[in-house]
Amino acid sequence: MRNTAKITTAVLAAGALTLGLSACGSDKDSSSSSDYSGPLVVAASPVPHAEILNFIEKNLAKKAGLDLEVKEFQDYIVPNTATEDGSVDANYFQNQPYLDDFNKKRGTHIVPVVTVHLEPLGLYSHKVKSADALKSGATVAVPNDAVNEARALKLLASNGLITLKDGAGSEATPQDIAKNPKNLKFKEVEAAQTPRSLDDVDAAVINGNYAISSGLKPAEDAFVLESATNNPYGNFLAVKKGNENDPRVKKLAKLLTSPEVKKFIEDKYAGSVIPSFK
């Protein structure tokens, strides 16, 4: 039976509270109390992460002796907080710069296990046919979380639309723009809402998973698209520190980087999602 479930933040919070009351502060990840029985519960964004995990659950997990349960989340926060508090065993949705920022700001202890794929960030529009066609004063929507906003600005800078100040790094904001020849204006919105913003702005920089889930084809529809070469934004399987040796996690890591999964990604996403392993 396909162990896939969608879960709301409210339900998760209630579950976490129940867990906290019953466990009296005893963490699941403690080396003395680790319980690796039962299904491996993984939090994932619906596209492409949950789709990849569901492919594994349906086609590969049973043979590998893995009981896999997938829980889908629409946001970029709860998968990490749920992994931290033990409501789920692992997550699959994020990249290293985002995780570094999240751990620093929220005091969590999430660590990567294995990098699986890259979702190229792209610039899209419903109103113009190319980036060059953006008029002076055009409004561009960008993700409002620190890492993805910086990533969006770097994409625009690498394609000549803006110039960033020297030293602008993984937390760059519009205040770090040195030159803006088109006088572009920036609208900061939640990453998940960037596709919906296309009718309200002149263009939007959209994360690959949200582009795909909204019906866009990054390899075809994006005016400009991130290169996969030396790209630090590969998405990975992650766990709370101390759970890297969970045998279920090791089985999933091996399956996520298998030839079968590589072929699935290449066939299904046609360049819109790129395997990060050989």
CA distance 205 to 155: 9
Cα dihedral 28, 29, 33, 37 sign: positive
Does 29 or 213 have the greater pLDDT score? 213
Token reading at 272: 């819109």
CA distance 82 to 88: 6
Q: Mind listing the pLDDT tens digit for each residue in 79-119? A: 999 999 999 999 999 999 999 999 999 999 999 999 999 99
Select from 204, 237, 234 the least CA-distant residue to 222.
204
How far is CA 238 from each of CA 101, 168, 252, rounded to the nearest angstrom? 15, 27, 11
Question: Is cis: bond before 48, omega within 30 of 0?
Answer: yes
DSSP 193: G
DSSP 134: P
Model confidence pTM above 0.85: no
Q: Mind listing the pLDDT tens digit for each residue in 164-206? A: 999 998 889 999 999 999 999 999 999 999 999 999 999 999 9
Residue given tokens 């710069």 in the structure block: 97
